[in-house]
Chain A
Amino acid sequence: QKEVEQNSGPLSVPEGAIASLNCTYSDRGSQSFFWYRQYSGKSPELIMFIYSNGDKEDGRFTAQLNKASQYVSLLIRDSQPSDSATYLCAVNGAAGNKLTFGGGTRVLVKP
């Protein structure tokens, strides 16, 4: 079992719709959860982080965390073509000294 799992996609979303990305993790002691966006050939860029169960909203992005189910998700509202990228879920485990990344979900927003 991979430590952090994501559906590789591509997730195809019409412009203006909501994109929903999911991530599960295996380390029950994980403390911090991050979403990074990575455009092709570029470096990962932090877009959201969440530490507590529930929802956290930032602009068009909402992160949702459910520690009991070991599940974190990212919603992108009013998706734009510029949102087309790979979204990486990252988890800071109980040891707390490194981020473990999922394989990423590729999102394609079609005009």
Chain B
Amino acid sequence: NAGVMQNPRHLVRRRGQEARLRCSPMKGHSHVYWYRQLPEEGLKFMVYLQKENIIDESGMPKERFSAEFPKEGPSILRIQQVVRGDSAAYFCASSPLRDGVNSPLHFGNGTRLTVT
């Protein structure tokens, strides 16, 4: 399966713990996008990365959230000191082009984070 791979599918964390979400883009794609979806809401853009660069992080909360896409390995979305409001589905998508114009995003199956 050459699709976007996310893991884990489900993640349960207690308040104050750290959550690490992983995303491997489709083969041949070098650009990764993270989106968050709260229950009964639409997808909200968080961050757009290419290898070793953050291109646009305008949707990232100012504190506790960080993202990286190293030269080797998957992209990581890290949430420190999680709170109940962080409970959501986090989707990763990838595209082959720098700006995604004329290139649809392909989404992974998501990680469903539950903070207890």
Contact = CB atoms under 8 A, between A and B. Distances in A.
Contact of A43 (B48, B98, B102, B109): B109
Interface string B77-116: 0000000000000010000001111101111111000000
Q: Chain B contact residues (Cβ within 8 angstroms of A): what range?
A: 20 to 34
B91 A98 contact: no
B52 interface: no
Interface residues of A, number: 24
Nearest to B101: A96
B56 interface: yes
Interface string A92-110: 1001111111111000000
B65 interface: no
Contacts, number: 59
Contact of A88 (B43, B48, B56, B59): B43
A96 B99 contact: yes
Contact of B91 (A32, A44, A95, A102): A44
Interface in A35-53: 36, 42-46, 49, 51
Given A43-B91, A44-B107, A46-B106, A101 B56 contact: no
Interface of B: 33, 35, 41-45, 48, 55-56, 59, 91, 98-102, 104-110
28 contacts: A31-B101, A32-B100, A32-B101, A32-B102, A34-B104, A34-B105, A36-B107, A42-B109, A43-B107, A43-B108, A44-B43, A44-B91, A45-B107, A46-B104, A49-B104, A88-B42, A90-B43, A90-B105, A92-B100, A96-B99, A97-B99, A99-B33, A99-B105, A101-B35, A101-B42, A101-B45, A103-B41, A104-B42
